[in-house]
Amino acid sequence: MSKKFKELSRFLDRHVLVSGYLDDCTCDVETIDKFNNYRLFPRLQKLLESDYFRYYKVNLKRPCPFWKDISQCGRRDCAVKPCQSDEVPDGIKSASYKYSEEGNDLIEECEQAERLGAVDESLSEETQKAVLQWTKHDDSSDNFCEADDIQSPDAEYVDLLLNPERYTGYKGPDAWRIWNVIYEENCFKPQTIKRPLNPLASSQGKSEENTFYSWLEGLCVEKRAFYRLISGLHASINVHLSARYLLQDTWLEQIWGHNVTEFQQRFDGILTEGEGPRRLKNLYFLYLIELKALSKVVPFFERPDFQLFTGNKVQDADNKILLLEILHEIKSFPLHFDENSFFAGDKKEANKLKEEFRLHFRNISRIMDCVGCFKCRLWGKLQTQGLGTALKILFSEKLIANMPESGPSYEFQLTRQEIVSLFNAFGRISTSVKELENFRNLLQNVR
């Protein structure tokens, strides 16, 4: 092997980061990059900047259900600035389940009741039945997330554009504890494996690394997918933190930007002894899962009585057109993930595994209430709810197919919270893929 070729190989190992086909998929990194960065990302960002998607209601004061000794981050960048009441469009404040002006008026009456879903006798019989069905479905075992009580006095609207996900300085034992519990207690880990599942744990050498991934490859596709989804979410968050890093902090200004060194420490193939590229491949795997869910749920959003209701009729109509354009673009993606292999074995075992899958993920959504940095908690809750909604969609294919073309859907529905989290969570993954291109370009200049 020539010296020049060896130098090129080392350069590619460090700067291309990840390429080629993904495990358990027929898709490759290059196809995703081209589709996301040039066809999808710009329009998706425009949609997420609209009023309907920028306001997210969240309860950041829920107590941690697993331990009491939470160290709250005291840094100013950990803080979340909630919206004042007059900053949120009236249509959003009154909307929970319905998506039209008429439906909003009905729900406003319902929300005056003692609990969400209580039905006012003045409503039509059909609407009463629909509201009860929606509430029952929301509380059912089909959900993959522990949802916030958005009717709680502690729940507040947050403008996501004014509280962006970025590096806050939240790190150390508290942050480590969150991820450690997620990996060690909620992923499907055989008892024979002693190595920590947390990929940020110090490596003990390549032989140990190979043993670790050999057991992962030996798992059934569902358990392997679960680990890869969590690892992909972890990787995506680390990409965001590296891309929006506090580079300079003075009393005059804060300067945020790409921290190449931080990115390399987390993802460089050599510095991480091969772990970094695996993390990034899991990020692409997560992208494909959420992309497939969005392609499956198109009929729900195509229904004529669905609106992205904020009260601004012109903007709402324009945003629905943009939303459907994005969804049809997603549906046209040529190499979608084939989820038909999920839970396709013996029916009894498949149902048991699906329930385990759901309970593990619900548990992870509850762990988000233990995050000591409020901004990290905000984005952690939103992204886990978004991924949980994507999983709910994937496992509701028959219900979606049987929806009526108009009128109430009694079997499948999405709340505004689920819709906002679904698209914003995918927007975060889409941004991560775009940022990988930016880091590649920056690393090439470092050469």
More confident of the two residues 221 and 378: 378
Report yes or no: 412 and 403 within 8 Å, Cβ to Cβ. yes
- Cβ-based neighbours of 159, under 8 Å, separated by 6 or more: 54, 55, 81, 83, 87
- Counting Cβ atoms within 10 Å, is residue 55 exposed (0-12), middle (13-18) or buried (19+)? buried
Q: For 155-197, write each residue's pLDDT tens digit.
A: 999 999 999 999 988 887 888 889 888 887 777 665 555 555 5
Q: Out of 104-108, 221-225, 315-319, which region has the weakest mean confidence (pLDDT)?
A: 104-108
Binding-site members are: 166, 168, 179, 231, 234, 266
Whether pLDDT at 239 is above 70: yes
- Give me the chain's average pLDDT, please: 80
Q: What is the pLDDT of residue 191?
A: 54
Q: Is 162 helix (H, G, I), strand (E, B) or coil?
A: coil
As a whole-number percent, the residues of the chain with pLDDT over 90 amount to: 43
Report yes or no: 47 and 315 within 8 Å, Cβ to Cβ. no
Q: What is the pLDDT of residue 262?
A: 94
Q: What is the pLDDT of residue 203?
A: 44
Average pLDDT score over residue span 254-274: 91
pLDDT band for position 345 (50/70/90)? Answer: low
Q: For 375-398, write each residue's pLDDT tens digit.
A: 999 999 999 999 999 999 988 888
Whether pLDDT at 9 is above 60: no
The Cα 401–Cα 57 span in angstroms is: 29
DSSP state of 36: I
Task: Identify residue 182 by its one-letter amino acid code.
Answer: I
Whether pLDDT at 300 is above 60: yes
Binding-site members for FAD are: 166, 168, 179, 231, 234, 266
Q: Out of 7-21, 67-81, 138-152, 254-268, which region has the weakest mean confidence (pLDDT)?
A: 7-21
Q: Out of 74-78, 290-294, 382-386, which region has the weakest mean confidence (pLDDT)?
A: 74-78
- Rank 160-164, 333-337, 366-370 by mean pLDDT and report only the highest: 160-164
Q: What is the pLDDT of residue 417?
A: 93
The Cα 125–Cα 71 span in angstroms is: 50
Of the candidates 311, 415, 320, which has an alpha carbon nearest to the alpha carbon of residue 100? Answer: 311
Q: What is the pLDDT of residue 107?
A: 43
Q: How many CB atoms lie within 10 A of CB 238?
A: 23
Q: What is the pLDDT of residue 419?
A: 95
Q: Is 208 helix (H, G, I), strand (E, B) or coil?
A: helix
Whether pLDDT at 128 is above 80: no
Q: For 400-440, write each residue's pLDDT tens digit.
A: 888 887 776 777 889 999 999 999 999 999 999 999 999 99
DSSP string, 34-66: HHIIIIIHHHHHHHHTSHHHHEEEEETTPPPSS
For the question of residue 376 being annotated catalytic, the response is yes
DSSP state of 67: -
Whether pLDDT at 277 is above 60: yes
Q: Which helix H or strand E contains 248, and what residues bound it?
A: strand 245-249
